[in-house]
Structure 1
Amino acid sequence: MPSRALTIILNANQSTKTVVLVPTSSTNLSTKDWILKEARNKFRVRALSRVHLYGGSEFGPDKALDDNTREVWVSKGEPYCGPVLESHAESSTQAQRAEVRVLAEKSFIDDKAIAQLKMVSELPGVRLAVGMPDLHPGNRFPIGCAIVADGVWPALIGSDIGCGIALYNLSAIPTRLSPQKLASHLKGLDSPWEGDVHAWLARYGIERKSEFDLPALGTVGAGNHFAEICRIESIRDAASCASLGLEENKLYLLVHTGSRGLGAQILETQTKGASNPHITSDSPLLESYLAEHDYAVRWAVANRDLVAHRIKQCLFPGAENSSEIAPDLGKILDITHNSVVKSKMEVEGVARDVWIHRKGAAPSDVGIVPCPGSRGDFSWLLIPTGDGVNNAHSLAHGAGRLHPRAAMHSKQPLKASSKTSLLTTSLGSEVVCTDPTLQLEEQPDAYKSCQGVVDDMEHCGIARGVAVLRPVVTYKIREAGIKR
């Protein structure tokens, strides 16, 4: 069958491309549908729905490719972000209303992440797009950013609505215990909790039931989620630490997890039939979406608390934490970094109500926040500074990825003698992770320096360090075969 070469480029990540041979004779599919079919198979992105020609014009189902067309861009519905025709470049720039800021000098920022942030800035209603020092590319939108907009874009929050980090007191544990000894106690955390999950959820005002309650509540999950026993290495702000009851050389617990599939289900339901919906402030859909969003946020808080409760039961079996429904968690703080909140900000010289979308960004208006490093790096507690205007009242939520997950698989295979470095870090901490894929993708080299991220925020005047936390045991997954 006669054919012609065509390069298909993924709009959201334009280094991802493939060359296909387009049949010149008729097929059962339109040319557009044929291109989308090939792109979905090649890129493994099922939601691709639009085809753009050079310059951004959309390629329709009733059109044929021009003989000079050698490249097309495919997207899920987000604005075209490929090359702009020279005649339209100036008008396109003038049409962009949102300002883009990247608050990083020392931290490496991938060009793909900046391109994604600029793409977000072109969405209708977006007023400001701020990239934190931990900014890095996501599957579709960047991670480590705060977006100020009129109305709500559910896709900007992402699928893990309510994801965040909580800090708990473990000071009753003797610090003399070795990381290996502490790690040996952390068992049974990947299986469903045997307690009354609905009674637990009721403590958080959640009466409804979901398919994720019984299998997932009280579990860490995969990806970059973790539970980490850590020790305060040094105190930089004694007064702030004292206000939280933090003491040097005592043990604490960080739990980083979210809504464990519930948020993804809400996003999928919200975006069904529309690849990138924008809910305006006067839309009747806003109230119903926010109700689902807030439900996922509360569920995620309940999940973090239950993870902490289960870990304490491992460390103190039969002791003061035996109560299933009202345990003493010793919770110090809980920060959500995947959410949307209504706020009043000055836009174009006028104070107005806007929505701050945080996709991997901690709020800077709730007090001290955690900023975790990789499992082989120090973490920080930070206190926000400044008026919040330059950083959209947000801070970095962690170190941020330096290398994408796929890149960690393409490195030279580890020698047998060095494989232990994936489970015992250079800081002497122990990693509990029986999943070989997570061992590779989450190794310390995959992440930026947390110190560099903190330095950038201090340089920008948006935060300063309060305390440094040293990892002792980082828990990812122990039980093989558990569905993540």
Structure 2
Amino acid sequence: MPTCPCIVQERASVSVTVFAGSSSWIESDAVAQCHQVAALDGMRHVAAMPDLHPGKGAPIGAAMASSVLYPFLVGSDIGCGIAVFPIRLKRPDPQRLAARFPDLDSPLDPSLLDEDIPGGHTDGLGTVGRGNHFVELARVDGVLDDAHAGRLGLAAGDLVLVVHSGSRGFGERILRAHTEVHGAGPAADPAAYLAQHDDAVRWGSLNRRLLAARVADALGAALSEPIVDQCHNLVELRDGEYLHRKGAAPGDGNDVLIAGTRGTHSYLVAAHAGPDANYSVAHGAGRKMSRADALRRGKAKHTVEELRRTPLGSVVVCGDRQLLFEEAPTAYKRIEQVIADLVDHKLATPVVTTAPVVTYKVADAAPARRR
């Protein structure tokens, strides 16, 4: 039987709904942030996903509908999202392929591109960024909906590139320009903010395509157009309201890749969320430890070399030792529980699972990688 979500009325007209079961890991601080958001002027409904966790000033893993536009509810990484590209390779040996991954921390020369760059922003173009961003060569491990997988052209054993990145410094620049004048207040000129926001969303999508192309070229692989490219940090006008998403993917009839961790499966789902969920689904496993806690606990439990190989046999490319611990799989919630909550609440249907082969986080420092 589906688990009933927790619904709390902040005011007569504002509700907070958490789409998670009683056994799911939901921090009270994250729920408190949802209530704080619900108290903002113009707010109508806050829908929290099962990957909910506290963020800087606003919850991550939430979709928030309001008559007022609040840039801080989207955050600085406007346009961040996940794209999935089918890719063809022979003999996908993890160690061999990891050594061939390019340095995705070095930006591209924009003069080499034959298309306009949204907003004219060239800084960081073609780079993955830090934090939870990654580029992953993954294998389709399980097919859970044969018909839907077939429509996407996916079968067990197929390889895909999963790219999780955003607008890099572009979105940060947009948010900073707002907060320096208005702080956490609403946008004084919503149309002007949305114009810049839309450029950043397009920039993030372009960046994911460039990252995939860089990896495919380095691996000598054939790359297809993305079968998924969904942004999870954005605001959209819907039914006369501003629907803010921070760490929540559009879930009204879209296919969405919900990322696990570098040592666990991810799930590609068919999302069909309705108005109670603000037409949104989870975007990943969601953190259950702060970065400081993950670093402290990880160092006590693991070595660096242990974290560069996973129980699934995949390889992690990460030259930043601290980031290895901060992003350890144990720092995140169980992706299986997140997906179960979405299924129980009829927000999504799993289509395929993917297993990592090579996960790129930050370039290694070895001379062979400096290119």
Is residue 2:236 matched to residue 1:355?
no
Is residue 2:103 matched to residue 1:188?
yes
Paired residues of 1:97 and 1:122 also in contact (CA < 8 A): no
User: Would you identify which runs of 4 or more consecutive aligned residues in structure 1 move more than 4 Å?
Assistant: 93-96, 479-482
Which of 116, 131, 149 matches 2:66? 149
AA paired with 1:184? A
Offset at residue 420 of structure 1 (A): 2.1
Paired residues of 1:201 and 1:302 also in contact (CA < 8 A): no
Separation (CA, whole Å) in 2 of partners of 1:188 and 1:134: 30
3-state SS of the aligned residue for 1:113?
helix
Which residue number in structure 1 is paired with residue 264 of structure 2? 377
Which residue number in structure 2 is paired with residue 65 of structure 1? none
Separation (CA, whole Å) in 2 of partners of 1:94 and 1:271: 26
Separation (CA, whole Å) in 1 of partners of 2:319 and 2:251: 36
Paired residues of 1:197 and 1:217 also in contact (CA < 8 A): no
Which residue number in structure 1 is paired with residue 346 of structure 2? 461
Which residue number in structure 2 is paired with residue 273 of structure 1? 181
Q: How does 1:228-247 map to 2 (within 5 A)?
A: 228-247=136-155
Offset at residue 480 of structure 1 (A): 4.5
Q: Pairwise CA RMSD of aligned residues?
A: 2.0
Which of 194, 199, 203 matches 1:295? 199
Offset at residue 159 of structure 1 (A): 0.4
Which residue number in structure 2 is paired with residue 339 of structure 1? 234
Which residue number in structure 2 is paired with residue 102 of structure 1? 18
Separation (CA, whole Å) in 2 of partners of 1:94 and 1:465: 33
Which residue number in structure 2 is paired with residue 167 of structure 1? 84
Offset at residue 151 of structure 1 (A): 2.3
Inter-CA distance 160–96: structure 2 relative to 1 (3 Å threshold): farther
Is residue 2:313 matched to residue 1:396?
no
Separation (CA, whole Å) in 1 of partners of 2:244 and 2:149: 29
Q: How does 1:297-336 map to 2 (within 5 A)?
A: 297-316=201-220, 329-336=224-231
Which residue number in structure 1 is paired with residue 124 of structure 2? 216
Paired residues of 1:308 and 1:329 also in contact (CA < 8 A): no
3-state SS of the aligned residue for 1:431?
strand
Inter-CA distance 402–182: structure 2 relative to 1 (3 Å threshold): same
Superposed CA offset, 1:19-42 (max 9, x none):
xxxxxxxxxxxxxxxxxxxxxxxx
Inter-CA distance 95–400: structure 2 relative to 1 (3 Å threshold): closer
Is residue 2:340 matched to residue 1:425?
no
Offset at residue 421 of structure 1 (A): 2.1
AA paired with 1:173? L
Separation (CA, whole Å) in 2 of partners of 1:269 and 1:427: 44
Separation (CA, whole Å) in 2 of partners of 1:333 and 1:439: 27
3-state SS of the aligned residue for 1:290?
helix
Superposed CA offset, 1:31-63 (max 9, x none):
xxxxxxxxxxxxxxxxxxxxxxxxxxxxxxxxx
Separation (CA, whole Å) in 2 of partners of 1:474 and 1:412: 19
Inter-CA distance 161–412: structure 2 relative to 1 (3 Å threshold): closer
AA paired with 1:468? T
Which residue number in structure 2 is paired with residue 131 of structure 1? 48
AA paired with 1:272? E
Paired residues of 1:227 and 1:475 also in contact (CA < 8 A): yes
Separation (CA, whole Å) in 2 of partners of 1:314 and 1:395: 33
Specify the structure having the higher radius of gyration (Cα): 1
Fraction of identical pairs, as percent: 40
Instruction: Give the TM-score normalised by structure 2.
Output: 0.92
Gaps of 5+ in 1: 1-92, 321-327, 345-352
AA paired with 2:261? S
Paired residues of 2:254 and 2:272 also in contact (CA < 8 A): no
Paired residues of 2:304 and 2:321 also in contact (CA < 8 A): no
Offset at residue 479 of structure 1 (A): 4.5
Paired residues of 1:151 and 1:354 also in contact (CA < 8 A): yes
Superposed CA offset, 1:320-374 (max 9, x none):
6xxxxxxx64321200000001112xxxxxxxx2111000001012421110101
Which of 19, 33, 37 matches 1:120? 37
Paired residues of 2:10 and 2:39 also in contact (CA < 8 A): no
Separation (CA, whole Å) in 2 of partners of 1:190 and 1:479: 10
Offset at residue 411 of structure 1 (A): 1.9
Separation (CA, whole Å) in 2 of partners of 1:410 and 1:384: 36
Separation (CA, whole Å) in 1 of partners of 2:100 and 2:59: 37
Paired residues of 1:163 and 1:258 also in contact (CA < 8 A): yes
Paired residues of 1:226 and 1:256 also in contact (CA < 8 A): yes
Q: Larger relative CO (CA 8 A, sep 6+): 1 or 2?
A: 2
